[in-house]
Structures are given as C-alpha cells and as structure tokens.
Chains A and B, each alone.
Chain A
Amino acid sequence: MRTFEFILRRLLTAIFVLIGVSVITFFLSRVVPTDTAALYLGAKARPEDLERIRLKLGLDRPLPVQYTIYISDLMQGDLGTSIATKRPVLQELTDRLPATLELLFFGMFIATLIGVPLGVISARWQGTWADVFVRMISIVGVSMPAFYLGLLMQIVFFRNLELFPLSGRVDSDLRFTNPIEPLTSFFLLDSFLTLNWVALKDVFLHLILPAFTLAAYPIGLIARMNRASMLEVLGQDYIRTARAYGIRQWIITYRYALKNAISPTLTVIGLTVAYALTGTFFVEVIFNWPGLGLFTVRSLLNLDYPAIMGITLLGASGYVIINLIVDLLQTWLDPRIRLK
C-alpha cells in the first residue's frame, strides 16, 4: 500500500512539473519574442500577411486563451509546423529520435561499462596510484567539452590512424550494397535482426567515435559516484565479517559490496542520461549524426519556434520521466527510501 502511495505521489509531482514545463516553453516562444508573427514570416513579410498569421496563430487573443489552445493541441499530439521544413514538428522529432537514442544508449552503455569498474578499482585500492589515476581520468573526462573532444577524436582516429569513419551514421555506399531494413530504426538492432553483418560492422564502426565522445563526461561522474558509495559500503561491519570468514576479496567486492553501493550510482547514471541528451546534440553536430541535435541547432539558429518548443518540451519530458524511473527503481532496490 505504501509503495503504491509513493508511486502515485511521485507520478502526480511529475505531471505537475510537466504542466509547469509547458508553461515555461509557451512563455519562451510567445511572450519573449517581440513579434511572433514576424518570426514566422521572416523580415520581408507584408502587413496583411502578418495580420493573417496573427489571426491564424491566435496571437490576437489573451495569453491564457492562447495557452489553452496550445495545450489542447499538445494533448492531441500537435506540436505545430516547423517553419523551416513546413512539416509537423512531431513528425520531425519522431523521425530523428531513433538516431539520437541509439547514440545516447550506446554511449551510456559504454560509460557504465567503464565507469562502474573504475569506481570499484578506485575504492578497492583507495590512496594508491590506481586511485589517483582513476581520479585523473574522471576529472579530465568532465573537463573536456564534448564539441572539442569530438574534433580531437576525428583528428586522431580518422586522420592519423585511419581506424574509424569521420562522420555520419552509416556509409553511403551501403544503401546500395547492403541496405538496412528499418524495423526499429535503431541501425545496430536492425542490421543484427536481419543478419546483415556487413551493415552491422559499418554501423558499429560509425558509432564508436561519437559514443566515446559522449561517454567521456558520464564516465567521470559514474566513476566518482561509484567510488564514494563503494568506500562507504566497504567500511561497514558486514564486509569486515565477510573478510573474517575468509571469503575471497573479489567476491566480497563484487557480490557483497557493489550490490549495495550501486543504488546511488544508479541515480547518477539516470541523471547523466538526461544530461547526455543535451550532450548528444553537440556530438551530433561534430559527427554529422542525423539525429535531433542537428535539427535542434538549425532550429535554434533559424528561430524555428515550433521546433524549439517541441525539442525543449521533449527534452524536459525525457528528463522528468528518467527522474521518475530512477526514483522508482531506487525504491525497488532500496526499500528504506519509500518509508521516509
């Protein structure tokens, strides 16, 4: 019962936050710009056209009414039409989302795979050179701007070592030789499911550089968080007891300690997923990755308001939902939280 109440309360908060988020995006797109109609039509618009678009967008009505219209459109999945592409914003976003998500998930997978063990090593050999080394890796990782790291990766791994492709999601020749059937639009998954090994290898190679660029920041955060929580757990009595029983150290570290230490790390991983979503935008620009990021940057520069609103709303909703999932997951892992 208590769990149910907790989930319900958490859901209600999330809904409240989402409503607030929609108010802020509405405010940003309708109130801050001095003349929304002019933005829609560009600088050389005729006055009668401006008047027409004002009526069409409902700009002549009071703000609360405009907001209600906006919200009811939103509820029906209508995010407006992109000024630049003249296509529905929702369509633009859903077309590009898989590419971004594939990069995001793969990057976070790498970050977790590297970050968690680094944290464990750091805590297990606290104060040694290994600890110092991990600390340096983490700080360098969080100090490197994604847009710069990506360029360095391109110089080193494409230009100098010729190991990985420069940019893009898949080689353009592949469209003719081994086309990928878009089942899920996650190319890695699609080429695997259709047993298209040539494409799988190509997609994988294209993913490596962007994914590592994206992972640099999360690796640092995850390693440091996991180090801190591991240290806390390793200092507890039951670990000492296990040691006294003569249980092997690696079993203690991975089976007994990591299990209890992973919960705070999980929170950080969840929050970094949300952070990394913005990170992917810059990585996409560098690697010419056909996802949300390129579209976002173009929309921001063209003042494509419907698109900007849609992206902001999507980003914030993603953030809120990830937070919700992390919270619920934590309650499941550590029942003490919901009793507070």
Chain B
Amino acid sequence: MNIPVHAKPESQSTRTTRHVLNVIMRDPLALISTIIIILFILIAIFAPFIAPFPEQGQGRTNASDTLHAPSEKYLLGADRLGRDILSRIIYGARPALVIPIGVVLFAVLIGAPLGALAGYKGGWMDEVIMRITDLFLAFPSLLLAMAIAASIGRGSDKAAIALIVSWWPWYTRIARGVAVSLKEQYFVEAAQAIGVRDWVIIFRHILPNTLSPILVQATVDLGIVIIAMGSLSFIGLGTQPPSPDWGLMVSEGRTFILDQWWIATFPGIAIFVVVLAFNLLGDTLRDIFDPRQYK
C-alpha cells in the first residue's frame, strides 16, 4: 500500500500565521500600518545612508544655521544648534523602535513564564506570584517608571529598565489566564499522565498557547511604550542630549513653539505616526484573536 509521505499536514502555527497575513492583507488600514512599521524599521537600519546630514543626525552641531526654517537644504528645518531635523528624526528612529521593542520583549520574557507558572501550579505559588503582580499593577505604570528612572539615574538604558519593571506584570496576568484555562484540557492532563515534568509542560505546552493573546497585547503595548519612553525623554529622564530622540526633540523645541514651530512639530508627527501604526495593527490583531476569551 502506498502512503503519501509528502502530504505532511500543515501545522497549527503555520495556519495561524497564514490566517493573520490574510486578514492583514484584506484590511487596508492594517496593511498600511504594517507598511509604515516596516518602513520605519528600514529607516532605522539604513539611517546613515538616508539622512541628508548623517553627522548632524548623530549630534554634531552646526552654528551657521541655527533655527533655520524649512527650506530646500533643510526640508524640515534646523534646530537650536543648527542640526537638520530630518536627519535627527531619521536617526531618532533607532532608539524610538529598538528601545520599546526591547522593553516589551523583556517584559514578556519575565512576565509570561511567571504567569504560566502561577496559573499551572496554582496554590501558594499562584498566590505569591499574583500578589506581587498586583502590587506592581497598583501603581500607574508611567508613574512607577518615572520614579524608578529617577532612582537609578538618567539615560535611555535606565529608562528602559524602569519601563520593563513596570510593564512585566501585565503579561503575567495574561499568561496566567491562559494557563488556568488550559490546565484542565486533555492534552495537558495527558502529558501529566505520562509523567512529563512540570517545567516541560509549562514551556512546551502552556507557553506556546499564550502566544496569540500576548502578541496582541504586545503590539498595542509597543505604541504605549513608545509614548512612555518619549514622555520620559520629554521630561529629561530618558535619552540624554545630544543623542537623537523624538521625545527629546519635542522637548527641546517646546521653547520655540510659537516662532520656530517646526522644531517640535515634525518629531512629534513621527511619534504619532508610528504609535498610530502599532495601534491600528494591534486593533486588527485583536479582532483576529479576541483575547477577551482569556479574561
């Protein structure tokens, strides 16, 4: 008898990925936001090649053109120190994307396993983990991040740590919800019955299933963390000058808002557009996965 060995059934994850891609392709807003995000990632990677004035983008001052209005030479104008704003925005795309992605990634890596552990184990382990989580959730996230950032010192790396510390509990909560609902499912019980060790069950069977609700949350959070990071830089706790940073640029331009409006306006648009893209994408992803079922 001939068994068609080549007809390997499609795995669940491939099917989900294709479904997501299909929906994104069909929703014009989601498609546009995906393109915008990819575009900004490319801008961040190729900043030295795109920026009209790469040195100014990285911080070199240019005393001859201070507060230059938008013109052919400086498409978006120049700032207080004569630096081309377009170049600064292009270089600013790096911290604006890399830091929030890092923050959300670490928050997930800390939060999700803890949540899965709490939900799967139950009992005192659940109590302890979730009570600690509740404590962190008792602070308004940004306020906690501000206090931590001030305590450990200024700088983008420290602001990132502060944001991770205030963001992981959200993922603990989501992962726990999923773990609790999965614990009673047959495939978990079957794994327990054949003596699979707990941590293997958590990492191999529970955590992969938390992926879609966490992905949705992470996409929306990326937008929120970009704003949070910008806010920290805006008040002077995040990125320090002369590094290019959108939040910092808005802050520097604030003094000139009534006359040299371009200094603050254009970096602000950059923040807004990226956050908007993440929010639109997150909205579509939420419709696909509907994480409400885990709450």
Q: List residues of A whose CB falls within 8 A of some B CB.
A: 16-18, 20-21, 24-25, 28-29, 32-33, 135, 139-140, 142-148, 151-152, 154-155, 158-159, 274-275, 277-278, 281-282, 285-286, 296-297, 300-301, 303, 308, 311-312, 315-316, 319-320
| Given A155-B265, A316-B139, A139 contacting B276 (CB threshold 8 A) | yes
Docked CA distance A311–B142 (Å):
13
**CB-defined contacts of B140 to chain A, threshold 8 Å:** 274-275, 277-278, 315-316, 319
Residues of A within 8 A of B35 (CB): none
Can you list 14 contacts pairing A with B, beta carbon distance less than 8 Å?
Answer: A142-B223, A142-B279, A143-B272, A148-B250, A277-B140, A278-B146, A285-B234, A286-B254, A312-B143, A312-B144, A312-B147, A316-B140, A319-B140, A320-B138
Bound complex: CA A277 to CA B139 (Å): 11
**In the complex, chain B residues whose CB is within 8 Å of the CB of A277:** 140, 143
Does B218 sit at the interface, judged by CB under 8 A? no
B261 touches A33 (CB 8 A): no
In the bound complex, residues from chain A placing their C-beta under 8 Å from that of B223 are 142-143
The secondary-structure label for the interface of chain A is helix
- Residue from the list A144, A155, A278, A286 in contact with B143, Cβ < 8 A: A278
Q: In the complex, are the beta carbons of B272 and A145 less than 8 A apart? A: yes
A134 to chain B, nearest CB (A): 13
Q: From known contacts A28-B147, A275-B140, infer whether A155 and B257 are also in contact, taking CB-CB under 8 Å.
A: yes
Chain A CB within 8 A of B190 CB? no
Determine the chain A residues whose CB is within 8 A of the CB of B253 once the complex forms. 151
A315 touching B139 in the complex, CB below 8 Å, given contacts A32-B152, A143-B275, A148-B250: yes
Least CB separation from B140: chain A residue:
A278
CB distance from B38 to the nearest CB of A (A): 18
Query: Are A29 and B258 also in contact (CB < 8 A) when A17-B134, A151-B264, A155-B265 are?
Result: no
| Given A275-B140, A278-B140: A300 touches B279 (CB 8 Å cut-off) | no
| B130-171 contacts to A (CB < 8 Å) | 131, 134-136, 138-140, 142-144, 146-152
A145 touches B257 (CB 8 A): no
Say whether B237 faces chain A, with CB atoms less than 8 Å apart: yes
**Chief secondary structure at chain B's binding surface:** helix
B31 to chain A, nearest CB (A): 15
Q: How far is the CA of A142 from the CA of B138 in the complex (A)?
A: 22
Q: How long is the Cα–Cα vector from A148 to B276 in the complex, in angstroms?
A: 14
Q: Which residues of A contact B251 (CB under 8 A)?
A: 147
Contact B272 A20 (CB under 8 A): no
Chain A residues with CB under 8 A of B150: 300-301, 303, 308
Q: Is the CB of A312 within 8 A of B254?
A: no
| Cβ-defined contact, B268 with A145, below 8 A | yes
Among B134, B149, B237, B271, point to the contact of A148 (Cβ < 8 A).
B271
Q: Which residues of B contact A148 (CB under 8 A)?
A: 230, 250, 264, 268, 271-272
Inter-chain CA distance A212–B268, complex, in Å, is 18
Which residues of B, 234-277, contact A by the 8 Å Cβ criterion?
Answer: 234-237, 247, 250-251, 253-254, 257-258, 261, 264-265, 268, 271-272, 275-276
In the complex, are the beta carbons of A20 and B276 less than 8 A apart? no
The residues of B that contact A316 with a CB separation of less than 8 Å are 138-140, 143-144
Is B172 an interface residue when CB atoms closer than 8 A count as contact?
Answer: no
Band of interface residues on B? 35 or more
Interchain CA distance A240-B261 in the complex, whole Å: 54
Chain A nearest CB, measured from B289 CB (Å):
15
List A contacts of B280 (CB < 8 A): 139
Instruction: Find out whether the CB atom of B138 lies under 8 angstroms from the CB atom of A152.
Output: no
**Closest A-B pairs by Cβ, 4 of them:** A148-B268, A20-B135, A143-B276, A32-B151
- Complex partner residue of B258 from A139, A155, A281, A312, CB under 8 angstroms: A155
Give the chain A neighbours of B236 by CB distance below 8 A. Answer: 297, 301
* Interfacial chain B residues near A146, Cβ < 8 Å: 231
Whether A301 pairs with B235 at a CB distance below 8 angstroms is yes
Which residues of A are found within 8 Å of B237, using beta-carbon distances? Answer: 300-301
- B227 part of interface (Cβ distance < 8 Å): yes
Q: Which of B143, B235, B279 contacts A315 (CB 8 A)?
A: B143
**Cα-based distance from A16 to B127 in the complex (angstroms):** 13
Complex: A42 Cα to B71 Cα, angstroms: 46
B65 touches A (CB below 8 Å)? no
Set of chain A residues within 8 Å of B275, measured between Cβ atoms: 143-145
Contact between A147 and B231 (Cβ–Cβ < 8 Å)?
A: yes
The residue of chain B having its C-beta at the shortest distance from the C-beta of A139 within the complex is B279
Question: Which residue of A has the minimal Cβ distance to B259?
Answer: A159
Q: Please, which residues of chain B bring their CB within 8 A of the CB of A33?
A: 151
Chain A: minimal CB distance from B79 (Å): 15
Which of these, B135, B148, B272, contacts A17 with CB under 8 Å? B135
Complex interface: chain A residues within 8 A of B55 (CB): none
Give Cα A143–Cα B278 distance, bound, in whole angstroms.
Answer: 9
Report the bound CA distance from A18 to B142 in whole Å: 18
The answer to whether residues A145 and B227 also contact, given A20-B138, A21-B139, A278-B143 and a CB cut-off of 8 A, is yes
For residue A147, which residue of chain B has the nearest CB? B234
Chain B residue numbers with a CB within 8 Å of A320 are 138
- Flag if A147 contacts B258 (CB, 8 Å): no
Residues of B within 8 A of A154 (CB): 257-258
> Does B283 have its Cβ within 8 Å of any Cβ on chain A?
yes
Tell me the smallest distance from the CB of A148 to a CB of chain B, in Å: 4
**Binary flags per residue of B186-215, CB closer than 8 Å to A gives 1, else 0:** 000000000000000000000000000000
Nearest opposing residue in chain A for B144, CB measure: A312
Residues of chain B lying within 8 A (CB to CB) of residue A16: 131
Q: A286 vs B231: C-alpha distance in the bound complex, in angstroms?
A: 12
Q: A274-B140, A315-B140 are in contact. Are A151 and B254 (CB under 8 A)?
A: yes
Nearest residue (CB) in B for A319 is B140
Contact of A147 with B147 in the complex, beta carbons under 8 Å? no
* Alpha-carbon distance A146/B257, docked complex (angstroms): 15
